[in-house]
Structure 1
């Protein structure tokens, strides 16, 4: 079709009858500027540019087109996520280009369900995946484009859940509690924060937690800890709880999880001191899409998978897979426990316990990757690190170095020790760049307790101090992993550990207070860890928050008490299990652009169509016509609605455009009269560039036009709701 361009020179026909393209406008500056495109992986839903929480995305591809010349070329973005272009050989473009982000690693394909990265929210700092730029008169333009995995989303102040491990002969009853992420301070006697959602009769002792955000269900797994009781489902129980109502039921029973019973009458369950880390369940995690639940069985060393969409699961979804023990010498000292999940990969961690040899040089931390699609582990572990390095004291002045696990002969169980740290790799979090944060639980805290007989038949009554840890493992761009303190993973500011401040608030007494459970919200810069004495009250367990960039924690301020010796806790021994973020489902976004059209109904990179129209009022209405939100287009003619405006997924809306408020001061003279601007017809075939706005009453000169839209599933964006206006006849 011939586009109507009444305000320009009329196209002329050559003698051969061929339509000739108009000459491109002359460049007053004598040339074009440069185009810089930065591509990021995004982790929030704001549309803002925030280099602190965005990582450069290598391997992306952009497409640049000139509608004036018909030229199109694809360009690979550099390994640092950036490309800068000029176009000295692209003649007669007028400096007008269409720029699209067309491909990137792990691109989500809705047809096949493969991949996981899709276009992210746009806004003040991040542009949409399709843009129109004008480089005329030596104007340089920078575009910041982003993609995200919606499963990474979490709200700014999410609810945290943890498991309280209650002593069998004490009055405490709470086993699952929740509290806001920003909670701080001590809470003895507080009945609302933390809030109890499950108790001992419903669950017994727990460790692993996993949250299915699609239906807001919290899964929890049984745990073997001395001087506790199992719940009604026994050693292999997985429970499911509604955090809103506290309703708890048995979800599944993992087979072959152990047979050793508790016996509180035998020196307060002393023989059970041999079982922590060897029976019952370790960590549990939910898959990124919420369809599968992964469970470590510490008794048989297998990874189990259950269908998380079911109300109850009678059997595993697939045959349990042995977690490789080949990194340990001997293999029988392999003790798996921790899990992490991100981008469709399951991370499984454990330790070589050195129990059989009692040789500290054989203590190792090991992490494997597991592919749930193929049901296979990697050919080699991604982390295989000795644990016989110097550590701070768990209780001054006793050195806190990791020790081999105690053997089953209780006559050799260490006596008279306040601290005897034994590593359990109990939790794994995955950083934005693919690096790992590893949480280490001290097994001694599960073998002992507060004012309790030593497990050794000859031992006295003692109280235990745990000495867990948090360690960083960096990931390089070549896919290799490096332990903190190495040349490829230097600690912030030097020092002997990445995460500092894991001390009592005075900085003395206890200097390895971390207790092994972690929660890492990717849109923030902190990580939460279970700790002993997190605030001021001693003999307590709770949460400490660490800065992930500096590794620092202000122990005088960044703590929250959860469980105390007065309500069934274990004092400075472990009283808490896993930590879990109860994140909302990812939000959705709609919108994009009101532009100055040439009358053809599709956005193009020619003439003045790169110009957006500022100040147009855009109103979001629900299916009943009620106003949800209203805003004006920005200098680029763009607008966006999302969860901050009340937008919901899978919902019908109307978007109304009102031209009467348009700011035409930056438009050409021919388009300066708002009253003469017409709504462009919706004649194009590409949803990304079409005009979607239908004028009221079918009158192109109407003051308003509307577009109808149904939002997509959680995490989706629709930046194709555009409206064109033109000034032709």
Structure 2
């Protein structure tokens, strides 16, 4: 702003200018993934790389002082920037780890400042929260669901049929469930009862039988579970192609039937007469009775054909699209990915064949595997792609891990599968820890349908042969993949049960050997890189080193993938010499026994399912023996996503359940045949989530230079009453904390009526005292007119309508917060200047005194006021009383700040020439 005033009498001229001082400083902060939308970075919330941060300094026009992109951990620093600045955070379109189509400013922007912030001086902690609706979990202790696999026929009215099939429990549960009692785990040992909350039985075996896949719909508040064939345990009443749907808050008493792929014409098994085939594979699944499954939990069964059928018939993993419209499932029989249109996300409709889409041209269907077959299983819908986990099984070759290979394909849901790309591929011949500390199988093995070819069957009845299934996929907040590998043998074997051959009546107990791997997403190249030697991008495992383990135990306990010998299809092995390759998630061991920590009994205890709560900073996985001193148990591990360590464990079942049928195993431990003990006894894990609320608003400010753009030194107007009008609904709030205002439709919020797609108006009465009849700034000064939360960041969006400032906008979808609806008012600083001379006339060589009085008549405070005085010809400067604020050479009087109603006086003495 600049004003010019001209004096009279002794020829006088001056001008006024408002000028802000400039200070150099460094600006820094963190961009973080706000998983619970509270506007605060919680300890487990990860940084977001790839966000553009810009700082603008004042000027006409303003100047871009610096641009930087947030790093791998979400941090950024802008150095050498001067003065008060406006800082903008831009979420890129289709970026590596953020996409403006699905990522938005987090709610509760009053805590972190929104996507446009104003900073003065050297500042750190200038953070920005990013929200993805698909990852939003607001509960501080969300509910989990896990399927439970129980031995027997699953027949209604029997012990087996009344056993649990689906549990729910709180995420933070840890320890041993109280109902599991206090039966000693070792002979003569006294064990305290469990002290953790019990899981809740949601469904029984007679309702659904064995299931693996799970998907929770936030839109419908419904849970989907899918059939899965597991040896020694009965399938549900709707068969191998069944997908069940239920309200977990009001579980049904009968079978929660939804649809069946077989009934719709998409076979999940072969047809014909059941034959108890072994060794080899038969596609015909027998009834639970055909399979010889008993009603009592201690019934020993051969269940012969199921040994070769595991992973080759029925259904695998499931997942939902973010909008809740489409359900995806893998058909293990035809090896295809399917999409089922639920038609109404909030009230799913039973589909017909027309609502089922098969991805018949997916590339893995024609993939040439070394001595094996490409078999899909795990799924994850992530950022508009459906990621599918596939393993080359090596099942028709010799026993060599060189024939097994893992792939993750990114499939466009709108395609027929033909354009699917390989996100990552790698061989499974990496160093992998022993299944048991007693020298049992190490590494992965080819798939086998022959019990006789298992790598281990010892005299004590322990059996193992780790066969890889890429069973589950999660994405961490930094875009990295977390891959779970189930051990197929974990589903082929049971606990203290028969071999598939009717001539073998020895009892065998399976030891599972699954694994978890981390695949880093490079934010610079957008490529995925498998962990190597315990390193995953910028993260390093906190596992003990090779040297530490060898010194203490004489064995290396945390082996994992090493350095790849190539990329893509050329990646065939790991080049590191010796057994020195560390794994990232080293906390995936089992049976942590007090004084033996960290020397675990079982190095790879993973069952194969994952869930991720973004705010926790950890991944939760199913596995055996998750709690110390309770062998033969199953439950969940919580593993740190930054160190790979075990944070806690929770037992859902174990072999010391005093409330059920008891036996004694070969070591004298208490046990029960009905659970699967150290073989895989749990299916997928699902975590409940929430549909994000919508928050709109941002800032009303004083536009000092009247250009319609928010500058770094322009202050907000507090105390302004703001109205939101959506049809007949209205809400009111008042600006605070630098002119900020927000409306939210959150429960208990100030605008619960605001709905997605609704046309609304933000309105401010310009006559209210807090506005003071100021004039509106120019609308859309930066040329952007759409009020888009990504692009329309910095200008005033309001138009005048009969004395009211109004912004018309359309409410976005859930989570699409719009923090860019800004209103500028031109700053009113009515500064007057009065100059007088102490004499009307004077003689040559006589002194005269000029008096200048600068007054701010408001209503706003003025800063950086300067008066430029050009003394008239014929006089010579003598002195002044400014205290050094008057520059005689330039004639500038530095008045400085003037509050509303404030004034300052300058007396200049001059001699007449």
User: Per the shorter chain, which TM-score range?
Assistant: 0.7 to 0.9
CA contact (8 A) 1:63 1:101 kept: no
CA contact (8 A) 1:682 1:691 kept: no
User: Residue 103 of structure 2 aligns with which residue?
Assistant: 117
Q: Give the deviation of 1:275 after TM superposition.
A: 0.8
- Which structure 2 residues correspond to residues 636-647 of structure 1 after superposition, within 5 A? 636-640=738-742, 643=746, 646=749
CA contact (8 A) 1:649 1:714 kept: no
User: Residue 499 of structure 2 aligns with which residue?
Assistant: 454
In structure 2, relative to structure 1, the CA distance for the partners of 1:302 and 1:323 (3 Å cut) is farther
Query: In angstroms, what is the RMSD of aligned CA positions?
Result: 4.4
> Any gaps of 5 or more consecutive residues in structure 1?
1-7, 14-21, 89-94, 660-673
User: Residue 221 of structure 1 aligns with which residue?
Assistant: 226
User: Residue 152 of structure 2 aligns with which residue?
Assistant: 168
User: Residue 265 of structure 1 aligns with which residue?
Assistant: 292
In structure 2, relative to structure 1, the CA distance for the partners of 1:53 and 1:103 (3 Å cut) is closer
Q: What secondary structure does 1:55 align onto? A: coil
CA contact (8 A) 2:478 2:521 kept: yes
Q: What secondary structure does 1:376 align onto? A: coil
User: Residue 33 of structure 1 aligns with which residue?
Assistant: 24
Q: Give the deviation of 1:402 after TM superposition.
A: 3.5
Separation in structure 2 between the aligned mates of residue 277 and residue 400 of structure 1, nearest angstrom: 21
User: Residue 714 of structure 1 aligns with which residue?
Assistant: 814
Separation in structure 1 between the aligned mates of residue 798 and residue 632 of structure 2, nearest angstrom: 64
Q: What secondary structure does 1:367 align onto? A: strand
In structure 2, relative to structure 1, the CA distance for the partners of 1:184 and 1:624 (3 Å cut) is farther
Separation in structure 1 between the aligned mates of residue 430 and residue 90 of structure 2, nearest angstrom: 48
User: Residue 440 of structure 1 aligns with which residue?
Assistant: 485
Is the counterpart of residue 509 in structure 1 residue 601 in structure 2? yes
Separation in structure 2 between the aligned mates of residue 498 and residue 479 of structure 1, nearest angstrom: 21
In structure 2, relative to structure 1, the CA distance for the partners of 1:154 and 1:26 (3 Å cut) is same
User: Residue 319 of structure 1 aligns with which residue?
Assistant: 358
Separation in structure 1 between the aligned mates of residue 359 and residue 586 of structure 2, nearest angstrom: 38
Is the counterpart of residue 104 in structure 1 residue 95 in structure 2? no
Deviation digits for residues 594-616 of structure 1 (CA, Å, limit 9, x no counterpart): 4345698x9644696x1125688
Higher radius of gyration, 1 or 2? 2
CA contact (8 A) 2:731 2:750 kept: no
> Higher mean Cα deviation, 581-590 or 416-425?
416-425
Separation in structure 1 between the aligned mates of residue 23 and residue 725 of structure 2, nearest angstrom: 42
User: Residue 249 of structure 1 aligns with which residue?
Assistant: 257
CA contact (8 A) 2:32 2:41 kept: no
- Which structure 2 residues correspond to residues 385-404 of structure 1 after superposition, within 5 A? 385-404=426-445
Q: Give the deviation of 1:651 after TM superposition.
A: 2.7
Is the counterpart of residue 518 in structure 1 residue 610 in structure 2? yes
Q: Give the deviation of 1:240 after TM superposition.
A: 1.2
Separation in structure 1 between the aligned mates of residue 796 and residue 425 of structure 2, nearest angstrom: 54
Separation in structure 2 between the aligned mates of residue 33 and residue 236 of structure 1, nearest angstrom: 67
Separation in structure 2 between the aligned mates of residue 648 and residue 223 of structure 1, nearest angstrom: 45
Deviation digits for residues 23-58 of structure 1 (CA, Å, limit 9, x no counterpart): 653455xx3435747673624212235696343432
Q: Give the deviation of 1:226 after TM superposition.
A: 0.9
In structure 2, relative to structure 1, the CA distance for the partners of 1:273 and 1:46 (3 Å cut) is same
Deviation digits for residues 168-224 of structure 1 (CA, Å, limit 9, x no counterpart): 245343222211111122226489842222222332210011112111121111101
Is the counterpart of residue 152 in structure 1 residue 177 in structure 2? no
Q: Give the deviation of 1:408 after TM superposition.
A: 3.2
- Which structure 2 residues correspond to residues 684-723 of structure 1 after superposition, within 5 A? 685-686=779-780, 690=796, 712-720=812-820
In structure 2, relative to structure 1, the CA distance for the partners of 1:182 and 1:141 (3 Å cut) is closer
CA contact (8 A) 2:25 2:122 kept: yes
In structure 2, relative to structure 1, the CA distance for the partners of 1:505 and 1:60 (3 Å cut) is same
Deviation digits for residues 647-701 of structure 1 (CA, Å, limit 9, x no counterpart): 6765389999999xxxxxxxxxxxxxx9786265667645675587999xx999x
Q: What secondary structure does 2:438 align onto? A: coil
In structure 2, relative to structure 1, the CA distance for the partners of 1:510 and 1:49 (3 Å cut) is closer
User: Residue 19 of structure 1 aligns with which residue?
Assistant: none
CA contact (8 A) 1:164 1:563 kept: no
Is the counterpart of residue 84 in structure 1 residue 78 in structure 2? yes
User: Residue 906 of structure 2 aligns with which residue?
Assistant: none
Q: What secondary structure does 1:523 align onto? A: helix
User: Residue 412 of structure 2 aligns with which residue?
Assistant: 371
Q: Give the deviation of 1:104 after TM superposition.
A: 1.4
Q: Give the deviation of 1:472 after TM superposition.
A: 1.6
User: Residue 274 of structure 1 aligns with which residue?
Assistant: 308
Separation in structure 2 between the aligned mates of residue 350 and residue 505 of structure 1, nearest angstrom: 32
TM-score of the two chains, using structure 2 as the length reference: 0.64
CA contact (8 A) 2:471 2:608 kept: yes
Q: What secondary structure does 2:491 align onto? A: helix
Is the counterpart of residue 419 in structure 1 residue 463 in structure 2? yes
Q: What secondary structure does 1:444 align onto? A: helix
CA contact (8 A) 2:167 2:201 kept: yes
TM-score of the two chains, using structure 1 as the length reference: 0.79
CA contact (8 A) 1:33 1:140 kept: no
Separation in structure 2 between the aligned mates of residue 161 and residue 122 of structure 1, nearest angstrom: 29
Deviation digits for residues 500-544 of structure 1 (CA, Å, limit 9, x no counterpart): 232213144333222111111122211111111223544332111
Of 372, 377, 380 in structure 2, the residue corresponding to residue 337 of structure 1 is 377
In structure 2, relative to structure 1, the CA distance for the partners of 1:153 and 1:278 (3 Å cut) is same
CA contact (8 A) 1:40 1:55 kept: yes
In structure 2, relative to structure 1, the CA distance for the partners of 1:196 and 1:617 (3 Å cut) is farther
Separation in structure 1 between the aligned mates of residue 613 and residue 770 of structure 2, nearest angstrom: 51
Work out the number of aligned pairs and report it. Answer: 673
User: Residue 696 of structure 2 aligns with which residue?
Assistant: 590
